[in-house]
Structure 1
Amino acid sequence: MPEPGQPLRRLGFLTIGRFDEAAPGPGHEKTLQTIERAEGLGFDTVWVRQRHLQAGISSPVAMLAAASQRTSRIELGTAVIPLGLENPLRLAEDLATVDILSGGRLNPGVSVGVPMHYDNYRTALYPDTHDVEDFTKKRAERLLDYLRGEPVSDFEGTIGIEQFSRRVQPHSPGLAGRVWYGGGLSSAIWAGKNRLNYLTSNVVSTEHREGDGPWDFATIQAEQIDAFRAHHPDPSTARVSQGLVVIPTDSATAEQIGRYRRYAEARLPRTGQTHGPRGMVFSPDFVGSSDELAEKLYAHPGFRRVDEVAFALPFSFDADDYLQIITDLAEKLGPKLGWTPAPIG
C-alpha cells in the first residue's frame, strides 16, 4: 500500500496501439518499438488493450507474440480480452503458445459479458448461435480449466504416426496463475474467490454497491480492491494493478503540455456522475509534473491500496508523445513513488 517511504513495486503502462487504417503497418511497428523502449527503461510490465472493428490492436495475442521476440525480460499483458468474442479452447492454445515463446512472461487479462455493440456484428461472429451464446463467467472458467491442463478431448493416443493429447497443447505450467480479471465489485469478489489477479482501470461500476454514496471514483475503486482481497484465500499473494491515465510533463514541450491539459479538461465533465445502467464512474485524468502527480497519487485511496500500476496512455496521442510520457514515467515519476527500474541486460 504505497505511501511516502513505501516503494511502488511494479511499474507498467497500457497502450491501445493506434494505427492508420489506410496504412496499419507503421502503427503496429511503433507499438512494438514502444514496448522495446519500455524494457530498456526498466519497466516491469507493458499491457495492450484490445479493440475490435477500430484502428487499435484487435489481436493482442499476435502483437505480444511479436513483442516476445523483441524483448527478453518485461512482462507482457492483455487488458483485457473480452471473452465473448473468443473460443476459450482456441484462446488457451494461443495464450499458451505466446507464454512459451516469451519464457513465461505472459499476463492474460480477460473479462466476460455481452460484447460491446454485439447486435451490429453478432451474425458475422456467431452465424448460428448468436442468440444462445453463454457470456457469463462460465466462459472464463472454461479458459482457466484449459490453461490448467484439464481434458478437452476424450481421446489420447496415437493414430498412424500422429500423437494426440487430451489437453491443450502446448501446456504452459503456471500460466493459469497469471490470469487477471477486470470489472466492478461483483467481478472483484469473483476474482478473489477464484484466486485470480485483479485489474482495475480508470472506470469503475457502482453496480451491486450498497448505499447512496459517496460516488467519487477513488472511494469506489478502493472499496472494490478491498473486496477482492477480502475474498481471496491468500491475500498476501493476490496481485492488484491500477490503471489510471497519468501524464507526466517533466520533459514535455510547451505545445505538448497545452495539448495534454486540453485533452484532460475535455474529458473532465464525464467525471463525478454515474453513466448507464451499470452506474459507471470515470476517473479524472492526471496531468502535471512528477512532483504534482506523486502528491495526487499518494492522496488517492485506490492507489494507496496497490503496489503495482499500469498507467494508461491516452488514446489519441502521437508516437513522440507516448515516448515522452513513458520516459518521464520511468525516469521521473517512478522514482518519486519509490520505484526502482529493473536491471537492463
Structure 2
Amino acid sequence: MKTIGFLSFGHWSDEPGSAVRSARDVLTQSIELAVEAEKLGVDGAYFRVHHFARQLASPFPLLAAVGARTSRIEIGTGVIDMRYENPMYMVEDAGAADLISGGRLQLGISRGSPEQVVDGWRHFGFQPAEGEDHADMARRHALVFLDLLEGRGFAKPSPRPMFPNPPGLLRLEPHSEGLRDRIWWGAASDATAVWAAEMGMNLQSSTLKQDETGEPFHIQQARQIRAFRDAWAKAGHARKPRVSVSRSIFALMDDRDRMYFGRGKESDQVGIIDEMRAVFGRGYADTPDRLIEQLREDEGIAEADTLLLTVPNMLGVDYNVHVLSSILHHVAPALGWR
C-alpha cells in the first residue's frame, strides 16, 4: 500500500490552450482540484513554490483554503525554498494552516532550486552570514524553523503586556502540536538525505537527483532512500519516517491522453543544474497494462511509502481529475498500491 498524492507546479499563462489564464485561476483551481481529488480517494494535495514566476508562490493562504474546504486529504508542499523564508513568521503561518486543516499539513522544505532572478532571496531581505553560501543559509533557516515548531518558550514577556500572559517565557502562536513530525526535506544528494534523517525530517525525493554513480535514476534514488533510512535508525528517532518520490505518470485511456502524452518511450536525462551534474528521471505514458509492467521495475517507487503524481495543471481541473482517476483505478490496484 502507498499513500498517493498529486503535485502541482501551479503554472498559469494567458495563452491558447491554457485553462489557467491568471493567478486567480491557478489558486481557485488548485483548491477545486484538491476537493475533487479527495472525493476520488487521493491521499494528498501538494503544491510547488516558486518566486518571481507565474506559478504558485506564497503557500500558506492556499494551504489554509484547501484545509477549510476538505476534511481528509493531506495538504503539503514540494517544496518551500528556505532561502526566502523568515522562520518565525513561517511558524505562525504553518501553525495556523495546520490548525485550520485539523493537523493534515505535510510541509516539504529545501535549500531551493534554480531561480527566475539573480539571488532572489536578497530582495526578501536575506543574505548568507559570513562564511555561508546560499545553501548554508537555507539550512540555517530550516533549523531555526524546526526548533521553533517544538513550541518551547524563548521570549521574555513584557512587564506591562497589553493582555495577560501565561507564566514563563513565551512561544510563537498559534502552536500546532505534532507539526514538527510532519516536516519533509527535499534532498538532491545522498548526503543531504542523510542530513535530513539526522535532523528528524521526512524525505522528499523528486525526479531530479545529483548524478553520483552514473546509474539509472531510479536505482540511485532507491540507494538514497536506503541511506536515509539507515541514518534515521542510527540517529535513534522514536517514530517511523516517511519517504516520498514524485513521478509523471499518464495512462493513455483516450484520444486526449494520446494527443497530450503519447509521444513514445521516455528515458532518463543528464544535465547541469546549479553547477551540479544531475540525472532527471523519466516520465511514464502508456496504456495501463504496459504502465504496470514498467512501474514494477522502478526501484525508487518501490522503496517509497508515498508517491506524488505530477499533474499538468494548465489543462484544467476536469482533465486532471481524469488523469488521477486513471492511475488510481486502472494502474494502482495491480501494483498493490491500492
SS at match of 1:95: helix
Alignment of 1:260-275 (within 5 A): 260-262=261-263, 268=266, 271-275=268-272
The equivalent residue for 1:34 is 33
Aligned match of 1:175 in 173, 179, 183?
A: 179
Matched, 1:228 2:221: no
- The 8 Å contact of residues 193 and 231 in structure 1, kept in 2 or not, is answered as yes
Q: Using the alignment, how far apart are the partners of 2:12 and 2:52 within structure 1?
A: 12
When normalised by structure 2's length, the TM-score is 0.86
Query: Alpha-carbon deviation of 1:49?
Result: 0.8
Amino acid at match of 1:220: Q
SS at match of 1:119: coil
Cα RMSD of the aligned pairs, angstroms, is 2.5
- The 8 Å contact of residues 84 and 115 in structure 1, kept in 2 or not, is answered as no
SS at match of 2:276: coil
Query: Alpha-carbon deviation of 1:318?
Result: 3.9
The equivalent residue for 2:55 is 56
Q: Using the alignment, how far apart are the partners of 1:222 and 1:230 within structure 2?
A: 12
Deviations 1:207-259 (A, max 9, x none): xx4xxx33321111011101100100368712101101111223xx3143122
- The 8 Å contact of residues 290 and 336 in structure 1, kept in 2 or not, is answered as no
The equivalent residue for 1:149 is 151
The equivalent residue for 1:201 is 206
Q: Using the alignment, how far apart are the partners of 2:164 and 2:158 within structure 1?
A: 11
SS at match of 2:262: helix
Q: Using the alignment, how far apart are the partners of 1:217 and 1:157 within structure 2?
A: 58
Matched, 1:332 2:330: yes
The equivalent residue for 1:105 is 104
Matched, 1:243 2:242: no
Q: Using the alignment, how far apart are the partners of 2:119 and 2:193 within structure 1?
A: 29
Q: Using the alignment, how far apart are the partners of 1:238 and 1:284 within structure 2?
A: 26
- The 8 Å contact of residues 157 and 165 in structure 2, kept in 1 or not, is answered as no
- The 8 Å contact of residues 19 and 28 in structure 1, kept in 2 or not, is answered as no
Between stretches 129-138 and 316-325, larger displacement belongs to: 129-138
Q: Using the alignment, how far apart are the partners of 1:272 and 1:109 within structure 2?
A: 25
The number of equivalent residue pairs is: 320
Q: Using the alignment, how far apart are the partners of 1:125 and 1:229 within structure 2?
A: 35
- The 8 Å contact of residues 185 and 203 in structure 2, kept in 1 or not, is answered as yes
For CA contacts below 8 A with separation 6 or more, give which structure has more relative contact order. Answer: 1
The equivalent residue for 2:17 is none
Q: Using the alignment, how far apart are the partners of 2:204 and 2:278 within structure 1?
A: 16
Identity %: 27
When normalised by structure 1's length, the TM-score is 0.84
Matched, 1:93 2:97: no
Deviations 1:168-212 (A, max 9, x none): 101111000010011121111011112211001111113xx4xxx
Matched, 1:188 2:193: yes
The equivalent residue for 1:3 is none
Aligned match of 2:301 in 303, 309, 334?
A: 303
Query: Alpha-carbon deviation of 1:152?
Result: 4.2
Deviations 1:125-150 (A, max 9, x none): 22xx5364751422211100011113
